[in-house]
Structure 1
Amino acid sequence: MENTFSAVKLACSSSPASLSEWQHLNELSVQLKNCMLVESERTKLTAENLSTLVDLIHLCNHGLENQTEVHSTNNCLTEVYRTLRNMCVECEQNQDLLSNQEHLYKTSKDSIQALMNQIKSSKDSDIIVTLRCIVQFLGNCSVGHQKNQCLIWKIFVEELNKLFDLSDEKLSIYTCMVAHTCLSGNLDNQDVWISPDTIQMLTNVICYTTECDCEWGVYLIESMCKVDSSFSKVFPLLKDTEKLLVYEVMLDHLDKSGNDQQTSKSNLQYIAEDMKSQSYTILSLLEKHQNQNPVVIVKEIEILGIATSFHNLYPDINTDKDLLSCVIYLLEAIHKIGLQGDNLFSRVDKIIKMGNIDQDHAGYCLKRDLVKLIGNMAYECKPNQDLIREMNGIPLVLDQTSIDGRNPYIQQWSVLAIHNICKDNNENKGILASLKFEGLAEEADMLKKYGVKAEVKDNKIIVKPPPENE
């Protein structure tokens, strides 16, 4: 290996210009690449060897900029980055060595810029391959190494953002990988996460993942959910379909909120504020032509319904009276609309009709999620319990205790909500008791209209047998 490095160093000093000289350098680079596939060879690498590679990269960059044997120059550059990529595989020693080679990183940045300029005038697929190798190298040297992660992100983030413009699937996936590796290793560094370049990267990754279902993109979104203020920076830049992807990932992540990787409180607060300001759009679900997409708000309600079940993790959400008021008003509005005829918000209690329900519609499970949110916010929170009573929310929730094919398990969630609303709250228990009595009295009166003698006694309807002479 040392002989090969010496030969490369000698060749670089003579500044190759002819095709044969570049081909010779390319052959030497291939030998180095193959050496780095062997673990015992990787561990022999020295800072001087890296300096030789930097000289070779600089030489290739110069050749690209001056249009000198571009094809051969690019081939040589590709093999150099394959060498660097291979030398980092499961080799912390070489990662440490690279952490002190900021000049190598900056020269690699120059490589990306030279290749991007070259690709404007040439559609040569080999240039894309070289860019892939550079990004793979950045990914391998940053895995599990925080110093390299910080260096790479500081130097390369702007160039990495531009790679999405090339619309190459593998290159985009590798870029998502580097973004995830570098940013997830710096979860506590909020300044990095909310910088303009990082916000642009998050937007690019989310956009690409929405279109192409990139696993690395999903991992990065999971990390973003944990970072304070990230939603308020990123979401104004996203389309509705992209927001929905983030929310789907967040819903899965919320299921893991019992551990120390909990979702950021400020991101949940952002969702709560957005839901409160845009909740009116849900009523447009009944309209054929919608100016705004209510699906995002429906998904926010689902998220808040789960988040509020973690009473100790997100107390600010659970005690948000404005949020609770908004949810009660919304449930009341769609409940009244549902009573006005056969529409999206109407209850479906006939088995024969349940097979025709569109389970993919945004309104599916909406009332259930609103009841769930009300019940969770009432849990061991007397101010919220009182607010629900003052807004006539108790009879409203009781009205949801019937079977509804559009809202599976709404009966169970309504019963739980009533339990939480009335627990240790005598005023609410009194309201509930009076409502039950009124309901029984109405049923008794109805029976009497049909000639059945009935009376309410001990919270039960007692049907009397007819007199013998009748």
Structure 2
Amino acid sequence: MAASSSIAEMSASISGFLDEKHRPEHLQVLKTFTAALREKEHRDAVDEAVLSPLLPLLTRLSDELHSAGGQDVSSETLELQLTAECFRAQRNACVQSTGNQKLLRDLGLIDVSLKLLNYLLTKEDQAAVHETLRCGVQFIGNVAVGNQMCKEDVWRSIVPDHLLQLLCVDDEKTVTYASMVLHTCLDDAKVETLALPQNISLALKVMELCRTQPDIDWTVIIATQHFLKCAVLVESMYTRMQHQDRVTLLELLLAQLREDESECGIPPAVASFLASSFQSGCGAVLTLATGSVSSNEVLQEALTVISLLDVLCEMSSDHGEFMFLQDHADLLANTTDLLAQVHAIGKSSKNIFSASQNFSLGADAGSSHHSPVVSFKAHLIRLIGNLCHNNARNQNKVRELDGIPLILDNCNIDSNNPFINQWAIFAVRNLLENNAENQSVVASMQRRGALDYAALRELGLEAEQRGGALLLKSLRKDP
């Protein structure tokens, strides 16, 4: 039998029970129709006459579900099953078929389906409702794929309120499919509209899901491929977020920077905003020194500062589009001042910022490495080094802030700050390179017990004491 005749007969069977009382046999007819639409030959044979019976059936089911009010449970269950099967048939019909997408749109099935989904969102959580929601959302996603008119219809109808409700459903599959719909509909213009006050809650929910349900890939894809590339949205989200979600956003941003060093797609305006956020909030990390954080909110604020520092370090390393951070107002001064405070606090008493040489492999080994500030001081030094790379003005500013002795005082191995020695050497190299005044500072420093001359030897320099002062000499011999 030809595909066109076969699919037409199945459609006629559906038309045959449109005015009958719903029975389980009707569900079986629909399942046969749905299964046939999985095959390309049947999808290609579809015309308006084949799909049109779905509209009165779905409209009737919608009316019955609205009027029943859950009074007849068995009848409602069958109605939900029939509705789900209608959605499946529509979903299957859309696969790789722009013609069928247009037919479903022209018939009004997108509108009816969206209204039904909105009603289902008001129902109590139950397996049958979740199953129907899943199928309906899958249809909405499939009908929009590659079809701009359908995308616009879906976007106008469900953003922000109804899509936000779908993302809040206590069913992971429904949330996953709803995330897919959002990703399908998004483009640069729509992403920017999510920054508007009436839409921002939708973007915030996506970021919350990135944290609470990381196995839902679609939300992470939405965040990295769309959200992080829109500066106005990043700023709008960040200012409204809880600190936990800020950390999630920053972790995704950091992963994006590391994944594609050549062209990460993150706008310079995002880097500028994050630098300003770091400067305004960096003092929060100092509250960790007491060892008794007064609230979880304070801890989360400090963790946000730490994540901001990690991102700024990465941005200012081998990312040419972000090197303007070297000129960002007071970023270098604030970072140097914070390093001085952290270093002083760590030396004043035994606390979270104190240096440690605990490299044992016992049961408590590495307990310090569970500290939220592990590597924090090292990363402050790394950022200073980055900001001074080939930048005489910043080299001079660090000297004026007495930052050179401060960095040299951190050339010792510290288990709380892995690689701090290497980052200090890196920073000193950048501070001394082609800067005679900074070299003179090191050469004239009074010998102090905390100064590790091995760091200078790593740079090919030797500090020789003469008359209570230091003379800086090169270890490299001329050829």
Please tell me the TM-score bracket, short chain as reference.
0.7 to 0.9
Residue in structure 1 matching 2:353, options 331, 345, 349: 345
Distance 2:86 2:113 in 1: 11
| 1:328 paired residue number | 336
Asked whether 1:193 is paired with 2:194, we answer: yes
Runs of 5+ consecutive residues of structure 1 not aligned to the other structure: 444-453, 461-470
Cα offset, 1:25, TM superposition: 4.2
| 1:408 paired residue number | 418
Contact 2:409 2:450 in 1 (8 A): no
More off after superposition, 361-370 vs 130-139 = 130-139
| 1:116 paired residue number | 121
Q: Secondary structure at the match of 2:57?
A: helix
Distance 1:101 1:426, change over 3 A: farther
Deviations, residues 273-332 of structure 1 (Å, cap 9, x unaligned): 221111111111123023422111111111111111144211342321321111111000
Deviations, residues 435-467 of structure 1 (Å, cap 9, x unaligned): 3xx338999xxxxxxxxxx8569658xxxxxxx
| 1:319 paired residue number | 327
More off after superposition, 96-105 vs 209-218 = 96-105
| TM-score, length basis structure 1 | 0.84
Contact 1:311 1:318 in 2 (8 A): no
Residue in structure 2 matching 1:378, options 371, 384, 388: 388
Runs of 5+ consecutive residues of structure 2 not aligned to the other structure: 1-6, 452-464, 474-479
Distance 1:233 1:424 in 2: 42
Q: Secondary structure at the match of 1:313?
A: helix
| 1:267 paired residue number | 270
Contact 1:33 1:86 in 2 (8 A): yes
Distance 1:247 1:97, change over 3 A: same
Asked whether 1:33 is paired with 2:38, we answer: no
| 1:397 paired residue number | 407
Distance 1:394 1:115 in 2: 65
Asked whether 1:290 is paired with 2:294, we answer: yes
| 2:219 paired residue number | 217
Deviations, residues 7-54 of structure 1 (Å, cap 9, x unaligned): 434544x4x4x344xx45433322220111112111222244444323
| 1:66 paired residue number | 67
More off after superposition, 376-385 vs 232-241 = 232-241
Distance 1:189 1:75 in 2: 34
Distance 1:26 1:441 in 2: 85
Residue in structure 1 matching 2:112, options 90, 107, 112: 107
Asked whether 1:279 is paired with 2:287, we answer: no
Distance 1:60 1:219, change over 3 A: same
Deviations, residues 124-160 of structure 1 (Å, cap 9, x unaligned): 4211110010111223333455554443222223212
| 2:175 paired residue number | 172
Q: Which amino acid aligns with 2:155?
A: W
Distance 1:433 1:459, change over 3 A: closer
Deviations, residues 223-271 of structure 1 (Å, cap 9, x unaligned): 2212222222222333322222222222111113434342232333332
Distance 1:300 1:45, change over 3 A: same
More off after superposition, 294-303 vs 392-401 = 392-401
Contact 1:375 1:418 in 2 (8 A): yes
Residue in structure 2 matching 1:133, options 135, 142, 158: 135
Distance 1:259 1:47 in 2: 50
The alignment covers a number of residue pairs equal to 437
What is the CA RMSD across the aligned residues, in angstroms? 2.9
Q: Which amino acid aligns with 1:230?
A: L
Distance 1:6 1:395 in 2: 87
Q: Which amino acid aligns with 1:244?
A: V
| 1:160 paired residue number | 163
Contact 1:109 1:159 in 2 (8 A): no
Residue in structure 1 matching 2:308, options 300, 310, 327: 300
Distance 1:124 1:441 in 2: 70
Distance 1:99 1:153, change over 3 A: farther
Asked whether 1:238 is paired with 2:241, we answer: yes
Residue in structure 1 matching 2:317, options 305, 309, 315: 309
| 1:466 paired residue number | none
Distance 1:322 1:133, change over 3 A: same
More off after superposition, 196-205 vs 412-421 = 196-205
| TM-score, length basis structure 2 | 0.83
